[in-house]
Amino acid sequence: MAKVSREDFTCAAATNTSAYRRITVPVLKIEAGPGPAVALMAGVHGDEWEGQAAILQLWHLLPGVLQRGTVYLLPAANAEASLAGTRLSPSDAGNLNRAFLGAPARGYTESVAAALETRLLPHIQALVDVHSGGASLRYLPSSVITRYGDDAYDERLPALARAFGLPHCVFFRGTEGGSLPAAASRLGVLRLSAEIGGGRETTRTLVEDCRDGLLGCLAELGLLASAAPRQPDPSLYDLDAPAATLRTRDSGVFVPGVALGQTVTAGQTIGQLIEPARPDQASRNLPSPQAGTVVCLRAIARSDDGDCLLQVAPALPLDSLASLY
């Protein structure tokens, strides 16, 4: 029988109307004997619901099925943002995924990051951190591999991406020292992420796919009774390539003409930018920056200079991951 305990922590989150306000971040620790320690985390951004809902399901399910090792469950790592349904922390407008900056912690968001880096990451060997497109974007459901800095290629990453069970996997290169991938790298923690859905909404199918993906990772890491079933290799997309992201240089209303998962050619019109309040202003056709699969689309029509409208990349075999390092 697994041992279950709460490892919650609280951080000050003062506002102009509440000087001594504190927010509790819920953490469940499940221990089932010798084995690796793994954290399953969501809600780093509060408006990304798929992972939060999936880990909440595991909060109730996992104590009855974990066979070995230790699992920490964090369904709402940024609890204040989750309660508000916002990407950033309301009390200080902080982005938790850019707040791992060490001492001194300035405000609520950096305090949460400091707690995660000192109370959680030193005690685990692997982390699965689930994201989505949040309010502004929608992603093709994908596992995510982020290389921080000059991290060496880890041969366990393709197996984890495969075990997550989604047909797509995206690759990023991380350079920001305050990110969660950077914090995990500093402490030698194996990390897989995911981008599942978005648009400030979710569906039961996406939540269940995420839940099953997290269970697949635990099985791959040897914490469940049966080994992870062999999954097909996901297609790999390099979203760090300069041509992968289309950003608008004007303000207007984005009217996409393509769908997630659609294959496009370089230069193909993927949508228009229009301005209904300026009917004499010509609409602007938007060309795809390169050929490939549409992996991400903006979910909010009104767009401003610098907003990401689309991400597109050619599908690569998973076994080419090492060549991207």
Supply the pTM of this predicted model.
0.96
Tens of pLDDT, residue by residue over 223-272, are 998 876 788 999 999 999 989 999 999 999 999 999 999 999 999 999 99
**Peptide linkage before 229 cis (omega within 30 of 0):** no
Query: For residue 211, which amino acid is it?
Result: R
Looking only at the bridges linking them, the beta strands covering 37-42 and 70-74 are: parallel
Residue-level pLDDT, tens digit, the chain, 325 residues: 799 999 999 999 999 999 999 999 999 999 999 999 999 999 999 999 999 999 999 999 999 999 999 999 999 999 999 999 999 999 999 999 999 998 888 899 999 999 999 999 999 999 999 999 999 999 999 999 999 999 999 999 999 999 999 999 999 999 999 999 999 999 999 999 999 999 999 999 999 999 999 999 999 999 998 876 788 999 999 999 989 999 999 999 999 999 999 999 999 999 999 999 999 999 999 999 999 999 999 999 999 999 999 999 999 999 999 999 9
For 6-22, write each residue's pLDDT tens digit.
Answer: 999 999 999 999 999 99
Q: Do the beta carbons of residue 171 and residue 238 sit within 8 Å? A: yes
pLDDT digits 0-9 by tens, 124-138? 999 999 999 999 999
Residues 6+ apart with CB under 8 A from 196: 50, 51, 130, 131, 132, 139, 141, 142, 166, 206, 209, 210
Q: Tokens standing for 280?
A: 């004499």
**Cβ within 8 Å of residue 273, ≥6 positions away:** 248, 250, 252, 253, 254, 255, 283, 284, 286, 303
Structure tokens at 3: 């041992």
